[in-house]
Structure 1
Amino acid sequence: MLNPQWLRTFAVLGEEGSFTRSAARLGLTQAAVSQHVRQLELDLGPLLIRGPRRLELTPAGLLLLEHCREAEHAERRLRQRLAQADHTPGEVSLITPGSIGLCLYPLLMDLQQRWQGLSIRHRFAPDTEVLREVIENRYELGVLALRPDDARLSVTHFAEEPLELVLPAGHRADQWDDLVKLGFIDHPDGHAMATRLLSRRFPSAPGVRQLPVRGFSNQISLILEPVARGLGFTVIPRFARQAFAQQDKLHVMENGAQVVDNLWLIHRAEWPLSPSARRLMDSLRENMPHWENHETC
């Protein structure tokens, strides 16, 4: 590949027709200009005919000068397209766990309605998959419930989300036996979440695995359906509960010890976010006080 600096020198020399004027315009010595030309001629053959009063380009020199001009125009077009792209909405890809995803999705649709040309690709996934997809650059932005320790990632605090003990409307769980009578509605993270919350609220209880299981769902939007029908209780993140349509059929036990998870926004640290992703991220951050104050999304 030809050295870009040598090509720049030759292009100026072809315009100025003088080593002296070219050196002054480039901020180089005449010896440096001559050296650049010699390096090109070693690779491409004779490019100049050096007369006593003026320089004349050989046929190869004329072709090279044309190449230099085409390269300059191509670079100018590239910079123009990059400048236009900086103001043009495009696709933003975001991958999140289910609970925060349920909260974000309506906000993302609101942004897409207001911001013509924005396209959002959103996927629900567990933390391990979120981490892998962002690291492998298949998604530009990700949200995690566990803070990663990876130098390839930029990690910033995004929101807080408490776990909730959710029962059918009209039920309470002041004693462990109240939960035993209801039974547990399980989900992929059910036992882990229930253990973390219930071990604090009922420290002398025999443990979550001793509870009768009344149902299971791996679809986060459906976990609360059996609870709303009175078939059992569950432990679930607040954003998932808030996204459920039938709030009047649920009862959240607010009293007792709390477990609050931090959520982390991640993207690759080595290269800048796209303009669309930066704008979307800033817009979502404006809603963080609402989430941190635990208001409904």
Structure 2
Amino acid sequence: MVNPQWLRSFVTLSELGSFTRTADRLDLTQAAVSQHVRHLEGQFGPLLIRRPRAIELTPAGCALLDYCREMDKAGERLNARLSDADSSNGEVSLITPGSIGLYLYPILLAFQQANRGLIVRHRFAPDHEVVEAVLQNHYELGLVTLKPDDARLAACPFIEERLELVVPAHEDVHTWQDLERIGFIDHPDGKAMASRLFGRRFPGNPGVRSLPCRGFSNQVGLILEPVARGLGFTVIHQYARKAFAHAEAVKVVDCGPPAVDTLWLVHRAEWPLSPRAARVLEHLRQEVAH
């Protein structure tokens, strides 16, 4: 590694063009400045052409000066990254389950439009992938449906999300027979969600597996498409329904006492959130509270 003091002397000399003025600015002797330059020339070859009233950099000197400038810029980037004091610039990374992610992503994009210095990086993932991504520092913020039991993670409630029975807009559902007539649109968590909700709304029912299945999708953004087309009903989290583009084509059936899941915000416990992440998080909390 090149001695930083030697480089400081060389850069200042390149700027001022005088050994005397360089020594004065750096509070060194002229002999010390000359010695620093000799050390560098011993390592990189001739750097300066000394003239009576000025100095001129050789090609090697120009290359070393460029290197010094690049190092200064790298140092500035490192300081900015370590201080992380700017809440208006840089990357904000969030990894979430599908339902709440569908709802939050447009909010994040709108916030980015108003704050062009920010870069939003979002990914959909199940709980175990969210936890691992945050632990590995691939994402700063995560949302999970089960509070993780890991001392490396800080977890706090973010929002409660209800399960909803969603049917085509023209359908009326009052009895189990209505569900049998309409048919079920399944998804990876569909039967588990439906069983939880139907136990409250239709006590003593024969079980969701007894219902005719009219379709299946593993893409949370597409589950309501067949419902909107009148092909069946489904049970999903409320934010997937709120994010659906054709809200007029579906409706929610009142099922009495709600079945609710708490979504937990997680991040690394050993260090504080970056100012930009804290700012975005506060904005998200305000938006979902509306």
State the distance in 2 between where 1:183 and 1:260 align: 24
Q: Residue 101 of structure 2 aligns with which residue?
A: 101
Q: Residue 176 of structure 1 aligns with which residue?
A: 176
Question: How far is the alpha carbon of 1:206 from its aligned partner?
Answer: 0.9
Amino acid at match of 1:206: P
User: Structure 1, residues 58-81: CA drift from partner, whole Å, max 9, x if none?
Assistant: x9xx98xx9xxxxxxx8x968964
Q: Residue 163 of structure 2 aligns with which residue?
A: 163
Amino acid at match of 1:252: V
Matched, 1:117 2:117: yes
Question: How far is the alpha carbon of 1:256 from its aligned partner?
Answer: 2.1
Matched, 1:278 2:281: no
State the distance in 2 between where 1:82 and 1:132 align: 23
Is the Cα contact below 8 Å between 1:200 and 1:257 reproduced in 2?
A: yes
Amino acid at match of 1:86: A
State the distance in 2 between where 1:82 and 1:131 align: 24
Matched, 1:262 2:267: no
Is the Cα contact below 8 Å between 1:153 and 1:266 reproduced in 2?
A: yes
Q: Residue 86 of structure 1 aligns with which residue?
A: 85
Instruction: Provide closer, same or farther for how the CA distance between residues 139 and 99 of structure 1 changes in structure 2, counting only shifts above 3 A.
Output: same
**Could you tell me the TM-score, scaled by structure 2's length?**
0.71
Amino acid at match of 2:119: S
Question: How far is the alpha carbon of 1:162 from its aligned partner?
Answer: 0.7
Q: Residue 229 of structure 1 aligns with which residue?
A: 229
Question: How far is the alpha carbon of 1:212 from its aligned partner?
Answer: 1.3
Secondary structure at 1:101's aligned position in 2?
helix
CA RMSD, 1 decimal: 2.9
Q: Residue 200 of structure 1 aligns with which residue?
A: 200
User: Tell me, which stretches of 5 or more residues in structure 1 are unaligned?
Assistant: 1-58, 67-73, 291-297
Matched, 1:240 2:236: no
Amino acid at match of 1:89: N
Instruction: Provide closer, same or farther for how the CA distance between residues 173 and 269 of structure 1 changes in structure 2, counting only shifts above 3 A.
Output: same
Amino acid at match of 2:164: E
**Could you tell me the TM-score, scaled by structure 1's length?**
0.69
State the distance in 2 between where 1:77 and 1:92 align: 20
Is the Cα contact below 8 Å between 2:147 and 2:155 reproduced in 1?
A: yes
Matched, 1:217 2:233: no
Secondary structure at 2:236's aligned position in 1?
strand
Question: How far is the alpha carbon of 1:226 from its aligned partner?
Answer: 0.7
User: Structure 1, residues 159-196: CA drift from partner, whole Å, max 9, x if none?
Assistant: 11111001111212211111111111001111111111
Greater mean deviation of Cα atoms: 125-134 or 184-193:
125-134
Question: How far is the alpha carbon of 1:289 from its aligned partner?
Answer: 2.2
Amino acid at match of 1:150: D
Q: Residue 9 of structure 2 aligns with which residue?
A: none
Q: Residue 19 of structure 2 aligns with which residue?
A: none
Instruction: Provide closer, same or farther for how the CA distance between residues 141 and 209 of structure 1 changes in structure 2, counting only shifts above 3 A.
Output: same
State the distance in 1 between where 2:82 and 2:126 align: 36
User: Structure 1, residues 4-36: CA drift from partner, whole Å, max 9, x if none?
Assistant: xxxxxxxxxxxxxxxxxxxxxxxxxxxxxxxxx
Is the Cα contact below 8 Å between 2:197 and 2:255 reproduced in 1?
A: no
Amino acid at match of 2:227: V
User: Structure 1, residues 140-168: CA drift from partner, whole Å, max 9, x if none?
Assistant: 11011121121111111111111100111
Matched, 1:148 2:142: no
Is the Cα contact below 8 Å between 2:200 and 2:255 reproduced in 1?
A: no
Amino acid at match of 2:224: L
Amino acid at match of 1:226: P
Question: How far is the alpha carbon of 1:104 from its aligned partner?
Answer: 0.4
User: Structure 1, residues 43-91: CA drift from partner, whole Å, max 9, x if none?
Assistant: xxxxxxxxxxxxxxxx9xx98xx9xxxxxxx8x9689645874125101
Instruction: Provide closer, same or farther for how the CA distance between residues 188 and 139 of structure 1 changes in structure 2, counting only shifts above 3 A.
Output: same
Instruction: Provide closer, same or farther for how the CA distance between residues 132 and 84 of structure 1 changes in structure 2, counting only shifts above 3 A.
Output: closer
May I ask how many residue pairs the two structures share in their alignment? 227
User: Tell me, which stretches of 5 or more residues in structure 2 are unaligned?
Assistant: 1-31, 40-71
Amino acid at match of 2:260: V
Is the Cα contact below 8 Å between 1:197 and 1:257 reproduced in 2?
A: no
State the distance in 1 between where 2:254 and 2:80 align: 54
